[in-house]
Amino acid sequence: MSNSVAIVTGGSSGIGRAICIALASEGYQIVVVGLNLQRIKQTLSLLHCPEKHLGLPLDVTQEQDMEQMANEAATAFGRIDLLIASAGVGRSVNLKRFMPYPTTVLPLSEWNTILNVNLKGVFLSNRAVLPQMMHQGWGHIINICSSTTPRGLRGEPYSPAYCASKFGVVGLTESLAQEVAPKGIRVQALFPGMVRTPMVAKTAIARRYGGNISAAELATSVLYLINEPPDTISIHPHVLPLASLRRS
């Protein structure tokens, strides 16, 4: 892993920050992507050898921003080995109501915000790094999805936008994985259960399902996927607390 290059969207907090820290400890050069420059700087300050890494305040929902992300990473480091698409939202920051909306009155703006970040953002970030990875003849993409229940990715009441966005990531990942595998590029989705993050803390509908996992524990699972033999692939691995299975 030494001197390999990883881009992490949503790297300025939560799951993305924990993944940045784990990858940097393994020798990766990290491109931290997020909306808030101050939080990006906080992530960079936590990384091993902070001077080796790059922070980019960019928006995953904007095509030109994602193209800039890939171009700056390739220019700075000469390669892109890994993309972790971890940017995501459970509700928009502009939502005034704390409790979730029934589908019949869900504001269209809320639907658009969640689908734009969680699905469109994954698509744009994945697509942006592919030209460089194809040129190299190798690459690895891991899309952070969701395990909404102890039984896996299932629809949950009062979460139509979130569930639709995460189901969409599954289809996107499966399609892209088959398309680019012949080019030496591995594409996977990782399905975490409830993770202790600032986003989860602010989501009224969040339930513990018998426990939760830390962002650092999830980052360990990312390292496991990266270290798989290059001629194998784990299909939709779930990361759940053991207690959730005891209650399912």
Q: Is 1 exposed, middle or buried (0-12, 13-18, 19+ CB in 10 A)?
A: middle
Instruction: Decide if 162 is catalytic.
Output: yes
Instruction: Give the number of other Cβ atoms within 10 Å of residue 181's Cβ.
Output: 12
Catalytic residue among 28, 158, 162, 209: 162
- Catalytic residue IDs: 162
